[in-house]
Structure 1
Amino acid sequence: MPNSPERSGRPARVTLGGDGPLLVEGPVEVVGDDGTLYTSRRFTAAICTCRKTRTYPWCDTSHRRRVKPEPHPDDATDRTDGTDRTDGTDRTDGTDRTDGTDRTDGAA
Structure 2
Amino acid sequence: MPNERADRARRITVRQPGPLLVEGPVEVELEDGTTVSSDRFLVALCTCRRSRRYPWCDTSHRRKTRDSG
TM-score, normalised on structure 1? Answer: 0.55
Q: Which amino acid aligns with 1:15?
A: T
Q: Which amino acid aligns with 1:64?
A: R
Equivalent residue number for residue 23 of structure 1: 21
Relative contact order higher in (CA < 8 Å, ≥ 6 apart) = 2
Equivalent residue number for residue 50 of structure 1: 48
Equivalent residue number for residue 4 of structure 2: 3
Q: CA RMSD in A?
A: 1.5
Where 2:61 maps in the other structure, the secondary structure is: coil
**Which consecutive segments of 4 or more residues in structure 1 shift more than 6 A?**
none
Superposed CA offset, 1:13-38 (max 9, x none)? 10011100000000000000101101
Distance in 1, matches of 2:37 and 2:62, equals: 24
Q: Which has the larger radius of gyration?
A: 1
Distance in 2, matches of 1:53 and 1:26, equals: 19
Pick one of 45, 57, 61 that aligns with 2:59.
61
Unaligned runs of 5+ in 1: 67-108
Distance in 2, matches of 1:63 and 1:12, equals: 24
Q: Percent of counterpart pairs with the same letter?
A: 59
Q: Which amino acid aligns with 1:3?
A: E
TM-score, normalised on structure 2? Answer: 0.83
Distance in 1, matches of 2:16 and 2:37, equals: 24
Higher strand share: 2
